[in-house]
Structure 1
Amino acid sequence: MTPRTLRAIPPAQADLALAALSDLRPHSPQTASPDALRAFLTQAEAEGYRLVGAFAPGQPEAVAVAGYRVMNLLYAGTVLYVDDLSTRPAARGQGHAAALLGWLEKEAGRLGCAALHLDSGVGEDRFTAHRQYLKAGLNITAHHFSKRLGHGEQR
């Protein structure tokens, strides 16, 4: 097992999560710079978003990150929703995502959540992530539909 430390990443330390979040969302304006990410995290934290990172020995930046929030859903009750889960390419296959998923499950229990939820994109590039989620005990319970409207801010 690869040694790692899991810890919260506050908005002031956004630069520690930038590379991992940029790998997940390379075209997002929020991951364009440390300042852009810091501004986003400050606003998102006020709305309940939190970020936790996996840090490998000798690595100043997180090798994997998870962004999450608690939501109340009519059909499911209180859930911990994972918005973002990303591992740097060089750190994949070392158990960092599994460690974060385990941490998130414990955090959900600590917060009194009835379930842990996440959405994942589809396509060949997502198959490894899907296997990871299934291995962690998550089930495919829905299809998520969206329609781009062409106006408003994209997050």
Structure 2
Amino acid sequence: MTAAGVQAITPDQAHLALSALRELRPHAPALADAEALAAHLQAVQSEHYRLAGAFESGREEAAAVAGYRVMTTLAFGRMLYLDDLSTLPAARGRGHASALLRWLETEARRLDCRALHLDSGVGPHRFDAHRLYLKTGLNITCHHFEKVL
């Protein structure tokens, strides 16, 4: 398949993102079906969560999906934060994630953001993702800590 481009995905188009998001977050309740995802997207619109997809010619569903939001923090100012980035297994290695990262950078600039941020899991299963992030100009600038409650 050849790339057809990157575009925003609206809550009404949630079904286009469902398969790729399930690859990243298989146990997320909001990904039970397209209706649950659409409801989740409607609920988090106040938090400015949005989706974009990379599409291949001849396929309706997105080959890769990015979930992101714009936020402002004291430490970093206005930023585009990448919550989710996932590619369908059959579409990996075709440049979809790179295309999404380029699109997100352009979107961040358009929205007057100072930076693009993301957190990534650790471990060998994430090494390909980390190589991609570094290759596309993202730098490791902090550690993320969590305490499950």
**TM-score, normalising length from structure 2?**
0.96
Superposition map of 1:69-148 within 5 A: 69-148=69-148
State the alpha-carbon separation in 2 of the partners of residues 120 and 145 from structure 1: 12
Provide the rounded CA distance (Å) in 2 between the counterparts of 1:142 and 1:58: 40
Q: Deviations over 1:3-53 (max 9, x none)?
A: 222111111111110000000000110111111111101111232111000
Q: TM-score under structure 1 normalisation?
A: 0.93
In the other structure, the counterpart of 1:8 is 8
TM alignment of 1:42-61, pairs within 5 A: 42-61=42-61
Question: 1:64 corresponds to which residue?
Answer: 64
Equivalent position SS for 2:13: helix
Percent identity reads 64
RMSD: 1.2
Q: Secondary structure at the match of 1:69?
A: strand
Post-superposition offset of 1:148: 1.1
Q: How many residues align?
A: 149
Partner Cα separation in structure 2 for residue 76 and residue 46 of structure 1: 21
What per-residue deviation string (whole Å, max 9, x for no partner) do you get for residues 112-139 of structure 1? 1100000111111111001000000000
Q: Equivalents in 2 of 1:147, 1:105: separation in Å?
A: 30
Letter in 1 for 2:133: Y
Please state how far the C-alpha of 1:84 moved relative to its aligned partner.
0.7
**Structure 1 residue 25 and structure 2 residue 28: aligned?**
no
Unaligned runs of 5+ in 2: none
The structure 1 segments of at least 4 consecutive aligned residues displaced by more than 2 Å after TM superposition are: none
Q: Partners in 1 of 2:104 and 2:68 — Cα distance?
A: 8
Residue-by-residue CA offset, 1:66-125 (whole Å, 9 max, x unaligned): 111111011111000001111111111110000000000011111111000001111111
Please give the alpha-carbon distance, in whole angstroms, between the structure 1 residues aligned to 2:15 and 2:69: 20
Between the aligned partners of 1:62 and 1:45, the Cα distance in structure 2 is 20
